[in-house]
């Protein structure tokens, strides 16, 4: 058995990872390039992608702690190792503040260690004035320019995106807080701001008009997360150990990890990126699980999906321009920018001629966790109940190529569900009754790790639903006002199944009749 490695789960301090011998995937060449790329830099990445570790690494670098970087790539690039005063702030500690005054108090508290180090004047009574004084005194006392690093800069604002008065008040606090960064440009060596989402420079960084956004810069696409090459080299022994513990081969385990945690792309030219938190957690726990969602789907995301009445069935393949998703959070006309910036959608393809990006759900882990959070919101069904009462039976029926039994299981399950609160309202919120059942079936199939798409375009029109399994493709047509026979006939008449006949899989056509009164499947017909 190979020796156990220590994984830095929950440890975001670079110095501790190095000194305590935790596994570290060397990104220091990119850290050096970032530090010399521009003076004021902004970058967004999803949660648990290593942003805090990146800010800590930058802190250690600018503090001149060469001993921490021995043996790493940056040693070949940096010759001087000058020491600068560093002000590093984690604004996740300012999350959930009820008012602008509470936010001010928290910012003052976050700045206290630096006032203890560099002093404070009596007339510094606001966060911006305190930060301004800290920067000036640090420069005067050390004779060196100041480095400012802000982690989770958007945390104080995310939960109040549509509370206009509260958002406006808090935004004014943050504007005042960031003013010294521009005002003291002469004494700033480097400024790095990171978070999950992208607020406009005018609304938050109103005075930093030269902030360079590297979020979609291909040079830094791999600075957070694990690449395919790093998994195959640096983490090769970890994959082999995990395979051994789970009774499979390294190649099979590598493929399973890829399906579960890979699939993120942060630029049009990006290589595949694995979620680092989930990947390392799988190595530590010795099994593949949905670790990114241990703390649940973020409340702010669910609120945005509800606010914009998002059509969740459209999210598996969206063709959009970059301006549709790489835009300021507070200017959103739909939830797409937030879904992309939060990591619930990612870039899957780019067409240079049309300049269209294809966005989709990154991987199985995101699909399952995302569906768990959305199922109760959109249908009133509890994900745990679906799994416990229905999912396993349905899965087994399809694995046995028994679509008829699978439909019986779905019919029985939907019929057994109590009349959930808001069910009628949910029916009214979609354009058609068929749309509601599309939502329900889409969410259930997605939760089972099936690849499912709704309203799929083909030459004859739009197929209601297509479900892909390893050995079969299921083409569904749903009817509320109509019969199962008519639904099946429509599949044939419109040629909905024809595009899948070249996939070397069984093609199963299913016409389904729903009863809006009983809220379950009334009838179905199957043809293979």
Tell me the per-residue pLDDT of 88-119, one tens digit each, with 9 for 90 and over.
999 999 988 889 999 999 999 999 999 999 99
Query: Is residue 424 scored above 60 in pLDDT?
Result: no
Q: What is the DSSP letter of 286?
A: T
> Is the model more confident about 398 or about 189?
189
Express each pLDDT in 133-150 by its tens digit: 999 999 999 999 999 999
Q: Is the torsion defined by CA of 482, 483, 488, 489 positive or negative?
A: negative
Written as six digits, the tokens of 129 are 């004035």
Looking at residue 354, its pLDDT comes to 94
With vertex at residue 292, the alpha carbon angle to CA 195 and CA 345, rounded to the nearest 5 degrees, is 65
The DSSP bridge pattern shows strands 451-458 and 461-469 to be antiparallel
> Is the model more confident about 332 or about 318?
318
What is the average pLDDT across 302-319? 77
> Is the model more confident about 442 or about 18?
18
- Measured CA to CA in angstroms, residue 482 lies from 41, 403, 509, 524 at distances of 58, 21, 17, 11
The DSSP bridge pattern shows strands 318-320 and 356-360 to be antiparallel
Q: Is the torsion defined by CA of 223, 226, 232, 238 positive or negative?
A: positive
Looking at residue 464, its pLDDT comes to 84
Radius of gyration for the alpha carbons in the chain, expressed in angstroms and rounded: 26
> Is the model more confident about 379 or about 155?
155
Which residues neighbour 165 within 8 Å (Cβ) at sequence distance 6 or greater? none
Mean pLDDT of the chain: 87
Please report, rounded to a whole number, the percentage of residues in the chain having pLDDT higher than 90: 56
Query: Is residue 418 scored above 70 in pLDDT?
Result: no
Distance, CA of 293 to CA of 214 (rounded, Å): 27
In the structure, how many helices (H) and strands (E) does the chain have?
Answer: 21, 15
Looking at residue 110, its pLDDT comes to 97
Of the candidates 175, 174, 157, the residue with the CA atom closest to the CA atom of residue 166: 157
pTM listed for this prediction? 0.83
Q: pLDDT-derived band of residue 528, with 50, 70 and 90 as boundaries? A: confident
Helix, strand or coil for residue 196? coil
What is the average pLDDT across 314-325? 85
Domains, in order of start, for the chain: 14-215 (3.40.50), 226-284 (no CATH), 299-360 (no CATH), 380-527 (3.40.1350)
Distance, CA of 315 to CA of 366 (rounded, Å): 12
One-character DSSP codes across 13-34: -HHHHHHTT------HHHHHHH
One-character DSSP codes across 369-387: HHHHHHHHHHHS--HHHHI
Residue 334 has a CB neighbour count (10 Å cut-off) of: 16
Q: pLDDT-derived band of residue 399, with 50, 70 and 90 as boundaries? A: confident
Distance, CA of 39 to CA of 21 (rounded, Å): 32
Most confident of 72-86, 166-180, 477-491: 72-86
Distance, CA of 190 to CA of 150 (rounded, Å): 11
Looking at residue 378, its pLDDT comes to 63
Distance, CA of 285 to CA of 456 (rounded, Å): 39
Nearest 5°: phi and psi at 284?
A: -70, -45
Q: pLDDT-derived band of residue 22, with 50, 70 and 90 as boundaries? A: very high
Q: pLDDT-derived band of residue 431, with 50, 70 and 90 as boundaries? A: very low
Query: Is residue 430 scored above 60 in pLDDT?
Result: no
303, 285 contact by CB (below 8 A): no
Least confident segment among 12-16, 20-24, 398-402, 425-429: 425-429
Distance, CA of 429 to CA of 236 (rounded, Å): 49
226, 264 contact by CB (below 8 A): no
Looking at residue 252, its pLDDT comes to 94
Of the candidates 290, 285, 262, the residue with the CA atom closest to the CA atom of residue 275: 262
Distance, CA of 520 to CA of 437 (rounded, Å): 9
> Is the model more confident about 70 or about 327?
70
Looking at residue 121, its pLDDT comes to 94
Q: pLDDT-derived band of residue 417, with 50, 70 and 90 as boundaries? A: low
Express each pLDDT in 330-346 by its tens digit: 777 888 888 898 898 99
Express each pLDDT in 254-274 by its tens digit: 999 999 999 999 998 888 999
Query: Is residue 6 scored above 50 in pLDDT?
Result: yes
What is the average pLDDT across 177-193? 94
465, 442 contact by CB (below 8 A): yes
510, with CB counted inside 10 A (0-12, 13-18, 19+), is: buried
Distance, CA of 150 to CA of 153 (rounded, Å): 6
Please report, rounded to a whole number, the percentage of residues in the chain having pLDDT higher than 70: 90
């Amino acid at each position: 058995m190979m020796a156990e490695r220590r994984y830095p789960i929950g440890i975001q301090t670079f110095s501790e990872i190095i000194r305590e011998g935790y596994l570290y995937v060397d990104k220091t060449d990119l850290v050096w390039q970032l530090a010399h790329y521009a003076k004021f830099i902004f970058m967004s990445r999803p949660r648990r992608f290593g942003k805090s570790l990146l800010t800590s690494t930058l802190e250690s670098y600018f503090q001149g702690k060469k001993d921490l970087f021995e043996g790493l790539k940056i040693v070949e690039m940096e010759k001087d190792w000058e020491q600068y005063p560093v002000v590093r702030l984690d604004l996740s500690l300012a999350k959930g503040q009820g008012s602008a005054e509470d936010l001010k108090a928290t910012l003052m508290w976050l700045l206290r260690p630096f006032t203890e180090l560099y002093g404070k004047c009596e007339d510094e009574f606001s966060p911006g004035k305190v930060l301004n004084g800290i920067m000036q005194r640090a420069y005067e006392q050390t004779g060196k320019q100041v480095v400012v690093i802000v982690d989770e800069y958007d945390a104080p604002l995310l939960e109040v995106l549509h509370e206009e008065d509260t958002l406006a008040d808090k935004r004014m606090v943050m504007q005042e807080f960031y003013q010294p960064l521009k005002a003291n440009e002469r004494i700033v060596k480097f400024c790095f701001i990171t978070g999950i989402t992208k607020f406009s420079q005018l609304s938050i960084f109103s005075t930093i008009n030269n902030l360079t956004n590297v979020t979609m810069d291909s040079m830094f696409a791999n600075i957070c997360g694990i690449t395919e090459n790093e998994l195959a080299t640096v983490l090769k022994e970890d994959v082999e150990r995990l395979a051994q513990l789970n009774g499979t081969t390294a190649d099979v385990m590598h493929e399973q990890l890829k399906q579960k945690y890979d699939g993120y792309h942060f630029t049009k030219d990006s290589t595949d990126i694995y979620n680092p938190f989930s990947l390392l957690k799988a190595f530590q726990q010795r099994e593949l699980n949905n670790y990114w969602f241990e703390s649940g789907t973020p409340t702010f995301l669910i609120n945005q999906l509800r606010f914009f009445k998002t059509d969740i069935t459209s999210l598996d393949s969206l063709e959009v321009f970059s301006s549709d998703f790489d835009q300021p959070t507070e200017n959103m006309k739909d939830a797409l920018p937030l879904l992309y910036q939060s990591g619930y959608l990612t870039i899957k393809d780019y067409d240079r001629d049309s300049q269209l990006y294809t966005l989709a759900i990154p991987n199985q882990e995101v699909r399952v966790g995302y569906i768990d959070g959305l199922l109760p919101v959109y249908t009133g069904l509890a994900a745990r109940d679906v799994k416990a009462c229905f999912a396993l039976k349905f899965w087994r029926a399809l694995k046995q190529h028994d679509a008829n039994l699978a439909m019986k299981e779905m019919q029985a399950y939907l019929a057994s569900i109590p009349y959930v609160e808001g069910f009628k309202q949910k029916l009214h919120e979609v354009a058609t009754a068929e749309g509601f059942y599309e939502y329900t079936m889409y969410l259930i199939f997605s939760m089972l790790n099936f690849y499912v798409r709704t309203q799929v375009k083909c030459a004859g029109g739009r197929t209601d639903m297509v479900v892909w399994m390893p050995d079969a493709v299921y083409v569904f047509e749903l009817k509320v006002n109509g019969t199962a026979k008519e639904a099946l006939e429509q599949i044939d008449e419109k040629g909905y199944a024809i595009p899948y006949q070249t996939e070397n899989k069984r093609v199963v056509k299913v016409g389904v009749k729903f009863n809006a009164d009983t809220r379950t499947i009334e009838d179905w017909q199957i043809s293979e």
